[in-house]
């Protein structure tokens, strides 16, 4: 399959972009007769796609459920009891809905942590997106053994999965996984060279509890003693971290995931972006799940990330648009082991075409500034992932079916959750 994007705006100039298979093979004036598909880019702007480095995709079915609560009340008394009623069909349609929402907002990759993994895998394979799917572990859950078994089953058939899918080991957090589990996860990550995805220092409750239970160590210090922290580790949230923690995170090459909207909604706090970047910590961006956000738009995430970082530093230069845009695109892609996040020859063909006539992008004194501060999902026209067109001129095949089935599953879930 070959695609030519003809006369599209790229980096402020009109050009052609050639795609062969899943790679960008040329940029410049090209003959459209040589391509299977030609996209007229005359009124479009080509930009890198987004990479969502922390979410729980099936939670689209819980969007708007149990809002405005403290994290532990929200989890223990509402979210976890509802999740106990989920079936694999719910996971499948919830993830299909999440994939569709992400495509509409220009996201081509997500790093997921959930359970009933077969449903998630099937949804990702059918959607055409990229994903890292976490083999979830939670020692505190009554269905702990099920999590272990489904992780083993998925791992044993890993060679049959789409090349767009990676697997990670995903212990939930230090307050739900014991020391033995965390050490074993670290060993598996090292042995097989796979990601380890974990919630870290999300709340002061977690931070203080860790210090009380582990000889005054912070969550980062504790995880470091267990060998959990490495360049394969994605530390979701990383809100309550001290200077020494940041030194450890930088030295180990850990990828911290900033989830500003979710952290604000749950009043968990804020990842110290400015200080982390200045200390050389790898920072990426994520939405978290839709029950704590409540959408999967990386446009929203970028804007809020910039604004709260300015507020936290009491300075309008506390965050720069180029930094914010990079953590949503190139940094996320590269941290995830993908040769993407930039539109260049030889890179993976993950490209978003924006509507150049969108009011939010007019005028375009600074495109990156517009993307961070004014753009929204309505600006996205066409999305290409791995050299395949997933959305063209706002149309995704099968969209009505996904919405209908997601509504049906959500209705059944709510009825079951409420007894």
Same-domain status, 83 and 155 = yes
Same-domain status, 357 and 257 = no
Domain assignment of residue 404, yes or no: no
Looking at 335, 370, 385, the residue that finishes a domain is: 335
In the numeric block, the tokens 């380890």 are attached to 196
Rounded to whole angstroms, how far apart are CA atoms 17 and 371? 21
Angle 103-262-233 from CA coordinates, rounded to 5° = 80
Rounded to whole angstroms, how far apart are CA atoms 48 and 299? 13
Same-domain status, 379 and 255 = no
Residue range 161-185: mean pLDDT, rounded: 97
Instruction: Please write the tens of the pLDDT for every residue from 312-326.
Output: 999 999 999 999 999
Same-domain status, 370 and 279 = no
Same-domain status, 226 and 195 = yes
How confident is the model at residue 69, as a pLDDT? 83
Rounded to whole angstroms, how far apart are CA atoms 37 and 3? 5
Domain assignment of residue 138, yes or no: yes
Same-domain status, 347 and 372 = yes
Same-domain status, 222 and 275 = yes
Sign of CA dihedral 319, 320, 324, 326: negative
How confident is the model at residue 186, as a pLDDT? 98
Task: Flag whether pLDDT at 418 surpasses 90.
Answer: no
Instruction: Please write the tens of the pLDDT for every residue from 62-116.
Output: 999 988 888 788 888 988 899 889 999 999 999 999 999 999 999 999 999 999 9
Domain assignment of residue 417, yes or no: no
How confident is the model at residue 417, as a pLDDT? 78
pTM for this predicted structure: 0.97
Domain assignment of residue 297, yes or no: yes
Same-domain status, 73 and 21 = no
Asked whether the bond before 363 is cis by omega within 30 degrees of 0, the reply is: yes
How confident is the model at residue 80, as a pLDDT? 86
Question: For residue 336, what are its two tokens?
Answer: 């995830």
- Structural domain span for residue 347: 2-48+342-396
Same-domain status, 231 and 377 = no
What's the domain count of the chain? Answer: 2
Domain assignment of residue 308, yes or no: yes
Task: Flag whether pLDDT at 352 surpasses 90.
Answer: yes
Burial of 75 (0-12, 13-18, 19+ CB in 10 A): middle
Closest CA to 46 of 71, 17, 68, 88: 17
Give how far Cα 253 sits from Cα of 141, 172, 201, 238, 322, Å: 30, 20, 17, 14, 21
């Amino acid at each position: 399959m070959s695609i030519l994007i003809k006369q599209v705006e790229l980096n402020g100039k009109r050009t052609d972009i050639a795609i062969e298979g899943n790679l960008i093979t040329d940029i410049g004036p090209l003959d459209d007769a040589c391509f299977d598909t030609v996209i007229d880019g005359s009124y479009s702007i080509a930009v890198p796609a987004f990479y969502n480095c922390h979410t729980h995709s099936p939670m689209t079915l819980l969007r708007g459920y149990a809002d405005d609560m403290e994290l532990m009340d929200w989890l223990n008394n509402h979210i976890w009891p509802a999740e106990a009623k989920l079936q694999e069909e719910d996971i499948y349609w919830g993830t299909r809905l999440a994939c569709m929402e992400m495509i509409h907002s220009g996201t081509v990759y997500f790093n997921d942590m959930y359970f009933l993994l077969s449903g998630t895998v099937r949804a990702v394979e059918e959607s055409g997106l990229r994903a890292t799917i976490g083999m979830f572990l939670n020692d505190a859950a009554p269905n702990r053994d099920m999590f272990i078994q489904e992780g083993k089953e998925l791992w044993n058939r890993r060679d049959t999965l789409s090349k767009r899918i990676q697997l990670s080991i995903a212990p939930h957090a230090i307050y739900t996984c014991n020391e033995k589990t965390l050490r074993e996860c670290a060993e598996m990550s090292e042995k097989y060279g796979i990601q380890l995805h974990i919630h870290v220092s999300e709340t002061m409750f977690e931070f203080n509890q860790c210090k009380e239970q582990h000889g005054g160590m912070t969550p980062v210090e504790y995880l470091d003693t267990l060998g959990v922290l490495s360049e394969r580790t994605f530390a979701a949230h990383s809100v309550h971290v001290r200077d020494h923690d940041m030194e450890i995170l930088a030295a180990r090459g850990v990828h911290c995931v900033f989830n500003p909207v979710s952290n604000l909604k749950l009043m968990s706090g804020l990842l110290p972006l400015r200080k982390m970047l200045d200390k050389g910590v790898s920072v990426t961006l994520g939405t978290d799940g839709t029950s704590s956000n409540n959408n999967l738009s990386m446009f929203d995430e970028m804007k809020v990330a910039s604004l709260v970082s300015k507020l936290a530093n009491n300075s309008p230069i506390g965050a720069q648009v180029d930094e914010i845009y990079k953590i949503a695109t190139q940094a996320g892609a590269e941290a995830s082991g993908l040769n993407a996040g930039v539109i260049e020859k030889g890179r993976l063909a993950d490209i978003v075409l924006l509507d150049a006539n969108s009011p939010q992008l007019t005028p375009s004194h600074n495109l990156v500034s517009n993307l961070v501060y004014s753009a929204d999902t309505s600006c996205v026209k066409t999305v290409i992932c791995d050299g395949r067109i997933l959305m063209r001129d706002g149309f995704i095949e099968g969209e009505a079916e996904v919405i209908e089935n997601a509504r049906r599953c959500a209705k059944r879930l709510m009825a079951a959750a409420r007894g």
